[in-house]
Structure 1
Amino acid sequence: MPFLAADVGGTYARVALVRTSQDEGHEIEVLAYRKFACADFRGLAELLQTFVDVDARTPVRHCVIACAGQVIGNEVLHDNSAWPIHLSQLRQALALDDIGVLNDFEALGYALDYHADSSARLLCGPDTRVDGPALVIGPGTGLGAAVRLPCTAGDHVLTTEAGQMDFAPNSIREREVLAHLAPNGGYVAYEHIVSGPGLLTLYSALCTLRGETPKLSTPEAVTDAAVTCSDAQAVEAVEIFCASLGNFAGSLAMTFMTLGGVYLAGGFLYSLFALLERSAFKERFLHGRSARAFLSRVPVWVTEHGRKGVLGAAKWYLRRGLSGDAKSSHFSAAGLTR
């Protein structure tokens, strides 16, 4: 039975109608797929109903949603959500029998394929793919991260809120930026620096520190100006962004000993690949002293987001037996606990 798989971020939602293929491998077959801008809809129910009416064009009774944030009771809570997500209202509006919910980077973790990701580009480290814990990181509207652990019974993915860790400045300039963002001290999360909005925050802070008025108003404009070297503050903002991403990724790689590699996911980073290569990312990723010996063995790949989120969500959903003949009328317990 076909079911909906949705990957809902703060800016975009990717939705697919999927089912298990009939071949021996039981791969996931995508029957329809579409990417939506969240700002074009009043809520998730309207967005999903549009997909069902226009693209799926068939009744759907089961759905799995990969989204940023945490499920508390009946609600998905996240600072970067485009709108509130209330699961009981969503199920009622779409006449669904069942909704499964998981973290968006948990879904990306289940979609990782070490040997078949043709979009992956090696950023640093050895050009090898080995079994072992693997890390997926993605700066977008926020900063997500998850860890995939290989298991004999099937890979398991650990979700994290690593993007909420305290930003750790590594240079005098970064300390100046941090002091500007928190002049009275206090907590500044990594995602306030290493994300699309974080890049714009960096740019604005650097302009203020130089006594200049910011000329650019979007992360894309900052990126474009850095590529063309047409704005000195944009160039420096991207340099700090890339270096801080390296520090963040290296710290998590040490925490989870991710010999299986680090995957930087998302179209945002994919478009920055050339700038990442020239940046201090590698040096900051490698850290220093004894950690360097381990981290130099960890490959770092940059991969496109694409359909990975919906495919990973569908894989997670099918593994838990929640689609097909499932008759449950309540939310998946696994989904509620992430």
Structure 2
Amino acid sequence: MDVAIGHLDQSEGAPASPFLAADVGGTHTRIAMVRASHDEGRKVETLAYRKFACTDFPGLAELLQAFVDADVRIPVRHCVLACAGQVMGDEVVNDNLAWPIHLSQLRQALALDDIAILNDFEALGYALDGPLAHSGRHLCGPDTLTKGPALVIGPGTGLGAAVHVPGSAGGFVLTTEAGQMDFAPNSIREREILAHLAPHGGYVESERIVSGPGLLTVYTTLCALDGETPKLATPEAVTAAAAACSDMHAVEAVDVFCASLGSLAGNLAMAFMATGGVYLAGGFLSSMFALLERSTFEERFLHGRSARALLSQVPVRVTEHGRHGVLGAAQWYLRRGMSGEATTHHAVAGGLTA
């Protein structure tokens, strides 16, 4: 099976011909036909790009084939996927994916020589060595680019995070399972939410609160705590009602979500000494930027006492996911190289953005 379990040596040659690069999310899959750029200022050249809704297709093979049929005019033999989940034998498994991914079936269906896989947030981490570092809107901290490790976090269908560590040849990226970290309540109300979700104690993961579905969970929990029937059924409806101040539980749910995101981001920034900045990625956060801006995110991000001195110097930006995951995956693929012979695949883990 031409997939891998570790990074490839740079001595192995990357394909000179165009290849497919896809960022597979729980809601959308973004895919491009790319090749190495001859422009020294750009690492990857995009020849074609599309964004698909995952629910429109019975599987990833059919989705990728639709892109090939519409936009690809030459044989394509190589593919790199940025995807969350765990590689279990021949299958990529994640609860947030629209469908299971069977690697050998995918390779055979598209007549590929090889498929390389990396974590979806690892791909975003590599994109920080490019346009992602200069994109988005400033949320808090210094409004300048700073040096040091940079953290990218994305609450979408799930919650993912990765850290880009600068160095020679673009540095390297550390993946995390931040979405699976224990949720740590800060306020009395958050303790009530935790007690409702785990009435007998036990583990409640951060993405149960800090994600799109998590926002809806917080909203319905707050309604239950106050003995009321929820009126809203989607995360988008909750954010819209919060923006319009038309539902007090929606307003409170967004407050809890933003505050919890701030605490988590601050914890991770301290853990990785992310002096290079924190990037909050995804269309979900971008769509609620005004709510995030006037929330207690910054106060919770800064924590207190000695941590505040460090965290106050960390710039925080909100950026659209967009093509960055696709480009980051392509950059990783070109950097690591891929031979036409059987190779090993990079293990996949972590959260997933919409």
Q: Same fold (TM over 0.5)?
A: yes
Give yes or no for the alignment of 1:276 onto 2:279. no
Give yes or no for the alignment of 1:120 onto 2:136. yes
CA contact (8 A) 2:96 2:158 kept: yes
Match of 2:106 in 1: 90
Task: Give distance in 1, aligned partners of 2:266 and 2:110.
Answer: 42
| Aligned-residue offset at 1:154 | 2.5
Q: Which moved more, 1:114-123 or 1:281-290?
A: 114-123
Q: Deviations over 1:16-58 (max 9, x none)?
A: 0001123344521111111111111111111101110112233
| Aligned-residue offset at 1:151 | 1.2
| Secondary structure, counterpart of 1:128 in structure 2 | coil
Task: Give distance in 2, aligned partners of 1:337 and 1:126.
Answer: 33
Give yes or no for the alignment of 1:336 onto 2:347. yes
Match of 1:50 in 2: 66
Q: Deviations over 1:200-255 (max 9, x none)?
A: 10111011111111111111010100110011110000000000000000000000
Residues 242-261 of structure 1: pairs in structure 2 closer than 5 A: 242-261=258-277
CA contact (8 A) 2:119 2:347 kept: no
Give 1:154's aligned amino acid.
Answer: G
Task: Give distance in 2, aligned partners of 1:138 and 1:50.
Answer: 27
| Secondary structure, counterpart of 2:168 in structure 1 | coil
> 1:117 and 1:298, CA in 2 relative to 1: closer, same or farther beyond 3 A?
closer
Alignment counterpart, residue 327 of structure 1, candidates 316, 322, 340: 340
Task: Give distance in 1, aligned partners of 2:286 and 2:74.
Answer: 35
List runs of 5+ in structure 2 lacking aligned partners: 1-16, 350-354
List runs of 5+ in structure 1 lacking aligned partners: none
What is the RMSD of the two structures over their aligned residues, measured on CA atoms?
1.5
CA contact (8 A) 1:72 1:336 kept: no
Alignment counterpart, residue 171 of structure 1, candidates 178, 187, 208: 187
Q: Deviations over 1:264-316 (max 9, x none)?
A: 00111011111111101001001111111111111111111110000000000
Match of 1:136 in 2: 152
Give 2:39's aligned amino acid.
Answer: D
Give 2:233's aligned amino acid.
Answer: S
Q: TM-score, normalised by structure 2?
A: 0.91
Give yes or no for the alignment of 1:71 onto 2:95. no
Name the count of aligned residue pairs: 333
Q: TM-score, normalised by structure 1?
A: 0.95
Residues 294-305 of structure 1: pairs in structure 2 closer than 5 A: 294-305=310-321
> Percent of pairs identical after alignment?
74
> 1:241 and 1:337, CA in 2 relative to 1: closer, same or farther beyond 3 A?
closer
Task: Give distance in 2, aligned partners of 1:75 and 1:187.
Answer: 27
Alignment counterpart, residue 14 of structure 1, candidates 30, 34, 42: 30
| Secondary structure, counterpart of 2:173 in structure 1 | strand
| Structure with more relative contact order (C-alpha pairs < 8 Å, separation 6 or more) | 2
